[in-house]
Amino acid sequence: DTGVSQNPRHKITKRGQNVTFRCDPISEHNRLYWYRQTLGQGPEFLTYFQNEAQLEKSRLLSDRFSAERPKGSFSTLEIQRTEQGDSAMYLCASSPDFNEQYFGPGTRLTVT
Amino acid sequence: SQQGEEDPQALSIQEGENATMNCSYKTSINNLQWYRQNSGRGLVHLILIRSNEREKHSGRLRVTLDTSKKSSSLLITASRAADTASYFCATGDRGSTLGRLYFGRGTQLTVWP
């Protein structure tokens, strides 16, 4: 299966700790997106990469959040000094163009 | 903030019945997409309809788009228990090449055997 993969699938952390998530997109896709989804809501856009360039960031992405996509392949999303409000599902998607996006299974973060 | 809003929030039907979900959005769009999400998992793309299209079919799915009313509907015919999931509409900004999607809160569909 060469779909989008995300690791870890689940992460439980204590408030104040740093966490990092990884996304491996479909190999030929140059566009990569991060979304956040809380219970009962649809995904909300966080940030977008085209190849290695981060071209758009949502206002939801506070200074504690940083995302990278070195070499235009996999991407990481780091949250520093986690807060309980950061608890959510973090979804990664990739796309070959600006049409349909292919989503990974998500990383569920719980901050205690 | 979320661009689209699905209606109803929840829908419960018997196998074999048709399910209709509606989506309204606020701004001009390039296209409108429907995604399905099974409990606690990632989203699966179902169908994309462009702003110059009015209707599109894919298997048991039928999507309509009315840009004058800024609304879309998703019809699932002859539903199955496996169709139980949350369904989201998503829109992309007209003229944008960035591709960010705006999702609604979704419709939770339950199909009873």
> If you search the block for the tokens 């228990």, which residue do you land on?
B81
Residue B1: what pLDDT?
45
User: Which of B4, B98, B101 is opposite residue A55, by nearest beta carbon?
Assistant: B98
Does B99 sit within 8 Å of A43, measured CB to CB? no
Does A98 sit within 8 Å of B99, measured CB to CB? yes
User: Average pLDDT per run of 10 along chain B, which is 113 residues long?
Assistant: 77 97 90 90 91 96 96 97 96 73 93 95
In angstroms, rounded to a whole number, what is the distance separating the alpha carbons of residues B74 and B6? 10
In angstroms, rounded to a whole number, what is the distance separating the alpha carbons of residues B30 and A103? 20
Residue A2: what pLDDT?
77
In angstroms, rounded to a whole number, what is the distance separating the alpha carbons of residues B85 and A7? 24
User: Which of B41, B97, B105 is opposite residue A40, by nearest beta carbon?
Assistant: B105
User: Chain-centre distance of CA A19, in angstroms?
Assistant: 12
Residue A14: what pLDDT?
98
| pLDDT tens for chain A, residues 1 to 112 | 579 999 999 999 999 999 999 999 999 899 999 999 999 899 999 999 999 999 888 888 889 999 999 988 999 999 999 999 999 999 999 998 878 899 999 999 999 9
Residue B3: what pLDDT?
66
Cβ atoms of A68 and A74 closer than 8 Å: no
Determine the number of helices (DSSP H) and then strands (DSSP E) in chain A: 0, 11
Cβ atoms of B24 and B16 closer than 8 Å: no
Per DSSP, what are the bridge partners of residue A49? A32, A54
In angstroms, rounded to a whole number, what is the distance separating the alpha carbons of residues A3 and B112? 30
